């Protein structure tokens, strides 16, 4: 399972690292420490928390969000595989993006819940980049 530093988690949540640290200190964002003492967030925990933040469960009212060049870096919160097609959901700050793509593409990218990914939007198409 992929883990994220507080700074990475903050970027994916669309908040400052200080905000993410305050959430962790308050027990809202589950963290653990690695061997070098860095605070990390498990990918699945971050995915669930990002959905909660987007639904208004936690957060700061004066946080601003922006999307540059139609790229939405975020975290994969759901992957639904069919026989041929697949659906991938990404939570990028307050934005929930859903992409319909082939099962083969999902498997080639190795997409799974908790993984960092970027949704790129052009017209009505959403493309997923694995980081």
Mapping DSSP onto H, E and C, the string for 49-108 reads HHHHHHCCCCCCCCCCCCCCCCEEEEEEEEEEECCCEEEEEEEECCEEEEEEEEHHHHHH
d(C-alpha 9, C-alpha 6), whole Å: 5
- Tell me the mean pLDDT in the region 65-73: 62
Task: Output the six-digit token pair for 3.
Answer: 């883990």
Question: pLDDT value at position 35?
Answer: 93
Residue 86 has pLDDT above 90, yes or no: yes
Q: How confident is residue 118, by pLDDT bands cut at 50, 70 and 90?
A: confident
Instruction: Look up the pTM and report it.
Output: 0.58
99-113 burial by CB neighbour count: b if 16+ within 10 A, else e? bebeeeebeebebbb
Q: How confident is residue 3, by pLDDT bands cut at 50, 70 and 90?
A: very high
Residue 101 has pLDDT above 90, yes or no: yes
24 vs 59, higher pLDDT = 24
- Tell me the mean pLDDT in the region 44-60: 79
- Tell me the mean pLDDT in the region 55-66: 52
C-alpha neighbours within 13 Å on the C-beta side of residue 48: 7
């Amino acid at each position: 399972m992929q883990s994220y530093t507080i700074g990475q988690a903050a970027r994916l949540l669309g908040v400052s690292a200080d905000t993410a640290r305050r959430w962790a200190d308050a027990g809202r964002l589950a963290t653990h420490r690695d061997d070098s003492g860095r605070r990390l967030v498990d990918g699945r925990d971050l995915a669930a928390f990002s959905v909660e933040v987007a639904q208004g469960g936690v957060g700061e009212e004066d946080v601003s969000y922006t999307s540059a060049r139609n790229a939405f870096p975020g975290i994969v919160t759901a992957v639904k595989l069919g026989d041929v097609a697949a659906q991938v959901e990404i939570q990028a700050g307050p934005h929930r993006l859903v992409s319909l793509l082939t099962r083969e593409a999902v498997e080639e990218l190795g997409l799974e819940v908790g993984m960092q990914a970027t949704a790129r939007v052009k017209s009505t198409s959403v493309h997923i980049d694995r980081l």
